[in-house]
Structure 1
């Protein structure tokens, strides 16, 4: 017996119990937006359609293997005969399906717009998706003709407290924890019944629960979040919720930050990794609400995390917006904003202006009596000097030496190890191999003593590159494998990129042309995406790869073509073929 849309009469669910008690051989297939919660019920959640991983390149092959993209293409062809997935529109179709969380009805409604708009136009207009997602098809129920009507239908089944919670949850970005919900719920109508109310929203299929990192986390579909936030803003309650949201995550990062250096680093990074969208939202909320000193403190507290996870470009935008506010801020906040504004340019577009700006950050930190931060900025200033051919070695040594002394006095092994890496890089540039090995060995020792995975990866990758150049291939391979494994555990994309380049060099030295080409191509695509490039002359895989190309160009080029279609997870599997399943499973969640 099939019963469709049972949410309309969910209070009559006990009747089903009486029916199958009378007819025990009968089977009831019930569709409902709400869990029935009766004896004998077995719940099967209808999952969203699969979309390509954000980790993978947005190619035609990825789109053709995605059920969400295939559905889009089928429905688009119904609206515009002749439409098909192509190399030109694949990236836009993938972006549309990812933005819509693979939700079939939303994808169908978006695809219907292809009669008027190109996939690129649809993708651009999905910034606010609800107005776009409608159709005039007459044979659909009214509640299915627009996504807003569909959500309205679901929300109409909720109690007042459940509707209030759903709207309040709109301030969260992507996933959130029960602790976060309970924190922002203080003083709200649903606050004393947070668990029960959240459970009701899960039963109503408006909130999703998933396991991540060994704990329960919750999320709203992007469309539901947009609906909730619009409703919250319409009743002028959004700012209060944003303040509550920001206060919770400010407290959270201050609790976690001390563990970002040393033996608890991997766990701390994983914990913050679950909250990345909310960390971004917190920064925006603080800036928008004019809490600029809190925004600066928030950014600096997570300095280590931004570096590990590659989010300096995001932080730079927040800090530029902070400075554009033209509001009073402390000297320390100005120092922080100045530093982060320049950090990405240090690696992407080093210039005299970057160096001068970092010197200003040092001065401002000292003026605010934060000598520890001043030492970090001074080390960055010295690192900038390495990017120029006309290196002022005396100035460099003076700055890096002062930074090391200060960091050592503060007991900051993390910063001290990184400074030793910079001295090792100077040795490599000056072709002073003994000095380079001495400093890199010291950096490794400091990292090992502190049990700090990040600095061990940075120091190890640099030492492995030097060992490879010296012809110590076995030692280099062993260290590259170690740093790659640590990078996977740490979710450190830049560290993994160096590891992939190192393993490309090793593969090339062994004559493994396809493998060397594939790993080099993946690494190049990652660097293009992140915008962080290696110091000129340090990329050790390029020369052996070109030497191998001269011998077996066809295999190298085949590997490069394959590599350009790969995501990071596939590349790690090629670089670490003997790694356990637990290592390979970590990568897709980055």
Structure 2
């Protein structure tokens, strides 16, 4: 299963990241032009647009650079500000820190009088044979140049990724691309990483649990351990963040999401995950498991079905399941009390080393000296070697000396700790340290931090500004976030080209606790939910048409907060709002595959027993019955969906009633072959209604269902008409997802009918669409279709290679194909009888292809070029 390719530019979220370096104010127009060029190429711009701080912390942009793939430098007249204690400006420092092997595109504004130091930097860049540079005269010209240069670079990189090494071997692709990249260096965990690696290498313990209090460093240890065991798990490492997952029933959907498995309701999710993990040596990291510990038995079922898979779990409490090996995560080593704090002894302490590292990042001129060694030693002992507590204290060196920090801790920490005696000792120390850090913030920043506790996992500046309306910090979102980032209480990073913020789990827990104690939690949560209702109302309309891909990406970025918003709406008995919220995202749940999660929410809504409209009841029952319709069809499911039709009709929602009618017809076919005529009539009626109402997306999907039904009944001419109708409707609305689904089915039917040339053209088109959508299942369909074409033309090796590559994708995402619609196996079996050796050779080599290589093998040259940029992001 291990894919192979030349090392290609790749990031955890599978988007190529372009780091943009320039002065902020002088080149504001040029920065906007470069951002536009990068986004036009569907790449992710990495830019410090929070803005007002002239010199972002060095470790922060070092981390951004480590996660980026291309460096773009824009230079005008100014060299930039040189911070106190620094020798170079942030502009030159960014260039210096860019990895030597990172592609560098440099653009120099023509005819500009330049600072001497900037000219010296440019002269050095011109002598650097790893950098390409061009002059530009206007922002418009710059935008065009950057777009062209990135396109050329991506084409070159794609060609490199397909190149074969001299010995005929192809280098393996990274299996750790989904593991988060730490923003800072990890200190003092070498022995822990080695110990965890030994446990995972031994293989006897299927679940290794990293146990410890909040702030001890469990997540960081999990990340470093995952990276250190890359060679043990050649089929991949998957990082599943459970921070925003509060219901045990959502464990499986969270794992599926990380594995790339869409939950479309057509098969039990646990079965699909087990299928995806079977026969693969993978490591699944589950971070923050303590809040859903009741779901722990699910892991036993998964590792029983997938004997080569291992799980690395972080939790504050032990899971207590079979196959679990507990590893207690301890604090960092501190200098022993009563021993003179000699400089070398303090420097040798991992806790003190962490303090010095983070203090130096906060204040570059900071250094450990004979004069401050005793204070640093006391701080680290006082904080019991807790990494997060030490980081929070170290951040204060911007405004306090180590001795002043030590004095303040000595005064406040015992009092604060005593106030929370009901917590475990180290947890008390951590909470007290956060209290102390917050006490140093100027008003109204403590209020702001507490309010931010309602966000799940990550959040944007827009969301923060909306939340602040009417709060004590209204209008201070930008400066307030900057101050909280500086104080290490909020983290800032780039996701999908946007600046996003997050709180560590224990800081969020602290903030939310304070908010509840203040009696403001419900008010702020309501504001949070209202913002995301407005957000969904703005974004959701794009799901059915030309904005589909960007809408799916934008909603995916906010998925944790969408979960939190629905949860709050249900918790506060705003049940009708919750129903409307869920229904407006129907297309997103369908494309992204989140029906299992929505079912949990809607069942909870129904169990509340509160007053709801008939429309909300119909929505809840529709989502609750969706999975049952596919997995456990019954007369009760058919009757339940009929009730949904009635309720939607009574509420005057013809559109929803037609979709429920189409679902009922599908349930009929799943349940009883004798109801096929009724099902066809219901689907036809639904399609006509949706056409009349102008719901192109639902009409196209319903036409696909009609085509599948006609095919099953042997009416291939009729089936082809429905698939063509679905494609035409989807194309008219720029609905790429349905174009891919309908196109693949239509092409398969053409193969069965012997229309090989027409099928080949259509399979090429739909494969290009699926690659652009990053739609794994569609890519598998396309590869299988072109396998069938190769088989019909007698190309045994190519047919074998494409079949195996497609099967690898299906295995990875846990997707089972419907036998009635599978056409490539017939020609493949025929080739095995006539040229079995070539088929077998193709299958062996196909098993070693990456997705990009398999697609390159399948597509003719013009389409290969078209998909180069999308494949480079795969």
TM-score bracket relative to the smaller structure: 0.7 to 0.9
User: Distance between the aligned counterparts of 1:197 and 1:268, measured in 2?
Assistant: 29
What TM-score, normalized to structure 1?
A: 0.76
Q: Deviations over 1:22-72 (max 9, x none)?
A: xxxxxxxx988999993655377999xxxxxxxxxxx9x946997989x99
Farther-moved stretch of structure 1 (80-89 vs 279-288): 80-89
Contact 1:93 1:123 in 2 (8 A): no
Q: Which residue of 2 aligns with 1:384?
A: 667
Matched, 1:38 2:154: no
Q: Among residues 419, 422, 433, which one is paired with 2:716 in the alignment?
A: 433
Which whole-Å CA distance do the structure 1 matches of 2:384 and 2:848 have between them?
42
For the 8 Å contact 2:805–2:846, the answer to whether it is kept is yes
- CA displacement at 1:538 relative to structure 2: 1.4
Highest RCO, 1 vs 2 (Cα 8 Å, sep ≥ 6)? 2
Q: Which residue of 1 aligns with 2:453?
A: 170
Contact 1:350 1:384 in 2 (8 A): yes
- Separation of aligned partners in 2, 1:206 and 1:87: 38
* Aligned 8 A contact 1:522 1:571 in 2: no
**Which position in structure 2 is the counterpart of 1:187?**
470
Q: Deviation at 1:373?
A: 0.6
2:541 matches 1:258: yes
Question: Aligned pair in 2 of structure 1 residues 123, 169: CA closer, same or farther (>3 Å)?
Answer: closer
* CA distance in structure 1 between the partners assigned to 2:177 and 2:695 by the alignment: 50
Question: How far did residue 368 of structure 1 move?
Answer: 1.9
Mapping 1:10-89, distance limit 5 Å: 38=83, 40-42=88-90, 62=175, 75-76=191-192, 82-85=198-201
Is 1:149 matched with 2:350? no
2:37 is aligned to none
Give the aligned partner of residue 870 of structure 2: 583
2:744 maps to 461
Partner residue in 1 for 2:599: 316
Q: Is the 8 A contact 2:777 2:809 kept in 1?
A: no
- Does the 8 A contact of 2:216 with 2:386 survive in 1? no
Asked whether 1:352 is paired with 2:626, we answer no
- Given that 2:802 and 2:854 are in contact with CA atoms closer than 8 Å, whether structure 1 keeps it comes out as no
1:522 partnered with 2:794: no
Q: Which structure shows the bigger proportion of residues in strand conformation?
A: 2
8 A Cα contact 1:461 1:479, kept in partner = yes
Structure 2 match to 1:296: 579
Distance change >3 Å, CA 354–CA 282, structure 1 → 2 = same
2:223 and 2:817 map into 1 onto residues whose CA distance is: 40
Query: Which segment is superposed worse, 388-397 or 434-443?
Result: 388-397
Say whether the 8 Å CA contact 2:658–2:689 is kept in structure 1: yes
Deviations 1:385-434 (CA, angstroms, capped at 9, x unpaired): 33356242321232112212211221222222222222211221122221
CA drift of 1:170 comes to: 2.7
| Alpha carbons 1:63, 1:85 under 8 Å: kept | no
Task: Quote the offset at 1:247 in angstroms.
Answer: 0.4
Distance 1:159 1:92, change over 3 A: farther
Q: Residue 367 of structure 1 corresponds to which residue in structure 2? A: 650
Q: Does 2:705 match 1:422? A: yes
| Corresponding residue of 1:199 | 482
Q: Which moved more, 1:273-282 or 1:388-397?
A: 388-397
Counterpart contact for 1:504–1:517, Cα < 8 Å: no
Post-superposition shift, 1:227?
4.8
Partners of 1:249 and 1:168 in 2: CA distance:
16
Matched, 1:452 2:735: yes
CA offsets 1:101-121 (integer angstroms, 9 cap, x no match): 99646767999xxxxxxx999
Specify the SS of the correspondent of 1:393.
helix
Distance in 2 between residues matched to 1:417 and 1:122, nearest whole Å:
38
Contact 1:404 1:416 in 2 (8 A): yes
CA contact (8 A) 1:413 1:450 kept: yes
Distance 2:195 2:749 in 1: 59
SS of the counterpart of 2:652? coil
> Taking structure 2 as the reference length, what is the TM-score of the superposition?
0.53
How many residues align structurally? 530
For the residues of structure 1 that align with 2:568 and 2:738, how far apart are their CA atoms?
Answer: 32
SS at match of 1:431: coil
Structure number with higher helix proportion: 1
Select 2:682's aligned residue among 357, 374, 399: 399
Structure 2, unmatched stretches of 5+, are 1-56, 63-80, 99-171, 228-282, 293-313, 318-327, 335-350, 352-379, 396-433
Superimposed CA distance per residue, residues 246-272 of structure 1 (whole angstroms, 9 cap, x where no aligned partner): 100101111222222223323322322
Tell me which of 275, 280, 288 is aligned to 2:558: 275
In the alignment, structure 1 residue 480 sits paired with structure 2 residue 480? no
Give the stretch that moved more between structures: 80-89 or 392-401.
80-89
**Greater Cα shift, 400-409 or 543-552:** 543-552
Alpha-carbon offset, residue 324 of structure 1:
1.3
User: Contact 1:170–1:225 (CA<8 Å) still a contact in 2?
Assistant: yes
Q: Distance in 2 between matches of 1:547 and 1:247?
A: 60
Q: Are 1:537 and 2:582 counterparts?
A: no
Cα distance in 1 between the residues matched to 2:769 and 2:856: 14
SS, match of residue 282 in structure 1: helix
Tell me which moved more, 366-375 or 378-387. 378-387
Secondary structure (helix, strand or coil) at the match of 2:670 reads coil
Partner of 1:10: none
1:79 CA displacement: 5.1
Matched, 1:135 2:330: yes
1:4 aligned partner: none
1:161 positional shift:
3.3
CA distance 1:447–1:138, shift in 2 (3 Å): closer
Larger radius of gyration: 2
Aligned-pair CA distance for 1:322 = 0.9
